[in-house]
Amino acid sequence: MTNLADLDTRTGLPGELRFLLEEHPRGTWESHDNLGGLMLFWLSRHDGFRTLGETLSEALGRFREGEIAAERFGGFLAPRLQHFLGELHHHHMIEDQHYFPVFMAAETRLLRGFEILEGDHELIHERIGTVVSRANDLLGLLSGGDRDRIRRAADLYAEDSGRLISGLMRHLEDEEDLIVPLVLERGETELGVG
Measured distance CA(177)–CA(29) in Å, rounded:
11
- Asked whether residue 112 is assigned to any structural domain, the reply reads yes
Q: Residue 66's pLDDT is what?
A: 95
Residue 4 predicted with pLDDT over 80: no
Tell me how many domains the chain contains. 1
Residues 9 and 16 sit within 8 Å (Cβ to Cβ): no
- Whether 177 and 21 have beta carbons less than 8 Å apart is answered as yes
Q: Please count the residues of the chain.
A: 194
Is residue 41, in this structure, part of any structural domain at all? Answer: yes
* Residue 1 placed within a domain: no
CA distance linking residue 124 with residue 134, whole number of Å: 15
- Please give the residue range of the domain that contains residue 102: 15-191
Q: Which residues contact 186 (CB under 8 A, 6 or more apart)?
A: 34, 106, 107
**pLDDT in the model for residue 194:** 79
CA distance 82 to 60: 15
What's the pLDDT score for residue 144? 81
- pTM: predicted TM-score of the whole model, two decimal places: 0.94
pLDDT tens, position by position, 146-192: 899 999 999 999 999 999 999 999 999 999 999 999 999 999 999 99
* Residue 7 within any structural domain of the chain: no
CATH number at residue 84: 1.20.120
- Give the number of other CB atoms < 10 A from CB of residue 147: 9
Is there a domain that residue 6 lies in? Answer: no
Domain assignment of residue 5, yes or no = no
Reply yes or no on whether the pLDDT at 49 is more than 60. yes
Is residue 131 a part of any domain in this protein? yes
- Model confidence band, residue 143 (pLDDT cutoffs 50, 70, 90): confident
